[in-house]
Amino acid sequence: MSPVLSGVLQLLALVGALALAYVPLGNHMARVYSSKTHLRAERWIYKAVGADPDAGMTWSAYLRGILAFSVAGVLFLYLLQRLQGVLPGSLGFSSVTPAQSFNTAVSFVTNTNWQSYYGEQTMGHVVQTAGLAVQNFVSAAVGMAVAVALVRGFARSRTGDLGNFWADLVRGTVRILVPVAAVAAVVLVACGVIQNFSGIHEVGQFTGAPQQWNGGAVASQEAIKELGTNGGGYFNANAAHPFENPTPLTNLFEVFLILLIPFAMTRTFGVLTGSVRQGYAILATMAVIWLGFTALMMWTEFAHHGPALQAAGGAMEGKEVRFGIGGSSVFAVATTFTSTGAVNSFHSSYTGLGGGITLLGMMLGEIAPGGVGSGLYGMLVMAVIAVFLAGLMVGRTPEYLRKKIGAREMKLAACYILVTPALVLVLTAASLALPTPPHSMLNPGAHGFSEVLYAFTSAANNNGSAFAGLNANTDWFNTTTGIAMLLGRFLPMVFVLALAGSLAAQRPVPVTAGTLRTDKPLFSGLLVGATLIITGLTYFPALALGPLAEGLAR
């Protein structure tokens, strides 16, 4: 069997597994978010919070809940790192510096998991397990909650009630993320991912001196890292490290976990809005973009253009033998077209065009299929823009899911899609204009520019992967990427929730013969086009200076 065929078969197996999980998981999530009952553990948590889980919230109350929870998360995680040196169970690692603690706290709370530190020599058991892994769960649950609130905005009418944030947060964690992650973690251990709390200990080697290993609760964190589209590695090498991703089977399983919830949420959306066909249209849009770019990635990586790769005879720099080029390409697209940012191979050493695809995936706003929750709400905002464009073409007031898309809705959608490009382009330009930040670049020329562009694209879109040659542990990058992550996470949430509030307040318009059918392939095509043209072209000049210049060089 040729490596290309093996790559294609792995992709098909993945599609099959995702298709099998789509309906059961999508329906389950719809039931969870519309359930009237509370589990005993949930009641206990609500009591501790002091919240009434049955009380409806307006969009602004919902947003205040998110912000309060996230501020608490950042402060807690910051303090945990600053105090690491005196905490027990820290393997003797010292406290993390203020700038890096800030950056890491923001990074994990915003579901980004950008890492300017080396996992295995910076973070001990307590920070990893009780700090970083916790945010892997709850930041994912926050994203899902916002998506569900937007879906309720479409589904409900003449109300201010978007649901209860605390209930959505707790249910998403307890009924969706924890059970799936627990099963996945055990599967990963069965395949060789480590799960222990041992200290640093010596292990003999075949020749020479013994190695020193640190143990860790890796499988439990790896499971939620992929399932929650977080991406922060326990080790520096992330999912390329054999203790995080030991076999080709775990590799495909981890990609499956990454894509599982983002795709299934389109089913949840369909069920909650009363038309699963609307969900299929969104699903089709996401799937077309994801499959198309995975195919392109395989093509460029197997072709291995670039002087060093030509000299080597294959694009194996930064890739593991057990995954090969096919398994690495599938992972790279899945991780950057969602908000994951885990890597099983190092994007910086990909072909110029391959690296460009990982960048473009993030620039599209990570909506194919996107992060847990954030992928769905990102794509729904894009759908709002697409119906507006279609409305302009035929001269009708645009509607989506029986809600009018008026001036207020369009302003909010437009603000949403402007936030991340503004952050990325301004901060990249500033970094290049200032005298010191360019010293962080590892590679010369176009690729060095791409490293900086990648850093801010990754941060503002809450991805977390990197062209990791860039030395991001400087005060400038720790601070600016921290700001990009915060604004790139919470400003879009403000606009999404405001949009949800405005949609929920409307009365539904009747469907007529003139209504644009948004559950048809034509609409999916329109949506693919809108996504590629609007967000893709925003970045075209920057892409031309970086990956295109590198990829098209002779």
Partner 1 sequence: MKNSVTTGARLFGAGLRALLALTLVTGVVYPLAVTGVAQGLFPGRANGSETEADGRVVGSSLIGQAYTLPPEEGQETPEPDLRWFQGRPANGLGTNTLNTEYRLLLSGATNLSAGNEDLVRQVEDAKAAVVKDNSVPGHAVDPSDVPADAVTSSGSGLDPHISPAYAELQTRRVAVRNGLPVARVERLVEDHTEGRTLGFLGEPRVNVLALNVALRELSAQR
Tokens 């608490």 label which residue?
Answer: 72
**Nearest Cα to Cα of residue 157 among 410, 515, 518, 403:** 403
Min dist CB 407 to partner 1, Å, is 30
Spacing of C-alpha 251 from chain mean position = 18
Strands (E), 376-463: 399-400, 403-404
Question: β-strand 403-404 against 399-400: which pairing, if any?
Answer: antiparallel
Q: How many CA atoms lie within 13 A of 383 on its CB side?
A: 35
CB 252 within 8 A of CB 13: yes
The one-character DSSP state at 539 is T
Min dist CB 464 to partner 1, Å, is 16
47: Cβ–Cβ under 8 A, 6 or more apart, which residues? none
Greatest Cα-to-Cα distance within the chain, rounded to the nearest angstrom: 78
For residues 44 and 393, what is the distance between their CA atoms, to the nearest angstrom? 53
**Nearest Cα to Cα of residue 155 among 283, 28, 268:** 268
322 class by beta-carbon count within 10 Å (0-12 exposed, 13-18 middle, 19+ buried)? middle
For residues 201 and 218, what is the distance between their CA atoms, to the nearest angstrom? 16
By beta-carbon proximity to partner 1, the closer residue of 213 and 299 is 213
Min dist CB 476 to partner 1, Å, is 19
CB 508 within 8 A of CB 404: no
99: Cβ–Cβ under 8 A, 6 or more apart, which residues? 475, 478, 479
CB 58 within 8 A of CB 162: yes
CB 91 within 8 A of CB 125: yes
For residues 471 and 494, what is the distance between their CA atoms, to the nearest angstrom? 32
CB 361 within 8 A of CB 330: no
Min dist CB 443 to partner 1, Å, is 4
For residues 148 and 424, what is the distance between their CA atoms, to the nearest angstrom? 27
SS (H, E, C) 46-61: HHHHCCCCCCCCCHHH
57: Cβ–Cβ under 8 A, 6 or more apart, which residues? 65, 161, 162, 163, 164, 165
CB 113 within 8 A of CB 372: no
By beta-carbon proximity to partner 1, the closer residue of 199 and 274 is 199
